[in-house]
Structure formats: structure tokens, C-alpha cells
Structure 1
Amino acid sequence: MYGLIGRMLVVDGRREELLAVLLEGSAPMPGCRSYVIARDPGSDNGIWINEVWDSREQHQASLHLPHVQATIARARSMIAGFDQRFETEPLGGIGI
């Protein structure tokens, strides 16, 4: 399995709007076992995204899905950047 944990930074005052866009754009993706979007309680402009995939290749392929491309297009102006990114090798657990 392939895991990805990243912290996205949001343009000032647009976190809730971006969270809504990301949650609305969440739809089943081949090979995705878990996709969790969360507020960073320590930052008004931080969002954590935690993903678990069957493989790195399926994660990469997901970026080309029409609904993912549409969500990225809607979200782009609200994203200030990414400041942390961790790749993991999930072994199992609840919900995956």
C-alpha cells in the first residue's frame, strides 16, 4: 500500500470554503482505501489530508480523473501552498 499525509496551506479566510470544495469533490477513486480531510487545530490556514492507496501508481492515476481535475480547478485559487508532505507504507488498520 501507499500512504500520503500532507498539510495544505489555505489563503487567509478561505479555509472553510476550501474544505467544502474538497469534501464535495470527494468521490470513489479506484485503489483509494482512505481519504481523510481535516482542519489543523493549530493553524487557521492549515488543512491535513491523509490518503491510503493500494499503490503509488493508483494515486498518480487518480490525479487525472475528471472529478479530481474539476476539484483541483475549483480549489486552486484558495490554496496558498503545501508545507509538509510525508509518504508512508501502510500495513493495515481500521477502515483500510
Structure 2
Amino acid sequence: ASAYDGTTAIMQALIDADADVNKRGGEYGTPLQAAADCGKVENVQLLLDHGALVNTEPIGMYGYPLQAVCETGDVATVRLLLEKGANVNAYAENSVYGYAIL
């Protein structure tokens, strides 16, 4: 929940308390998927800095993090995910954004 609509400080406190940055579940999938869908580059950066996996098979309805952020128009987060190795050809059949990223 905090990855989607929380502040970076709240996320940092949870990470400091050993929250799993790759925990999967629910509508948004992983914390990275949720942060990307929200277009909060600072939250995405924090998760990546603490080991979030950029190409984890998506669950939930928002697809891969790159797929989710492309819909938001947040170029900074798109570039960050690409720099971290996001697969531009990934697709998720269950995504509300369609199959292909482009």
C-alpha cells in the first residue's frame, strides 16, 4: 500500500523494519509494480536501491513495472527502469494496459 500512495519516508521505515521489497500479492502485484503505476520515481528508486526485481513475472492487473509506468507518462521512471534492465519486449496477459509495452 505504501509503495502506491505512501511517502518515501514511510517506505524507508518499512524497509528498515525488514519489509520484503519483492513481496507479491494483491491487485498491484509487487511494491515495484505499485510504485511504477503511481509514477513516483523516488519510490521506484528506493525499491530498486533495496533489491527490487525489475523483471519479476507480474501478478495483479498492472503488468510489469515498465508496462505500468508507460501509462502514467512519467518519463523519469521509464528511463530509470530501462537503466536497471527492464525488458522492453515483456508482456503480461493479465495487464489492464494490454500485452505489449510499445
TM bracket (short chain): under 0.3
Which structure's residues are more often helix, by fraction?
2
Larger-gyration structure (1/2) = 1
| TM superposition score normalised by structure 1 | 0.27
| TM superposition score normalised by structure 2 | 0.26
Which structure's residues are more often strand, by fraction?
1
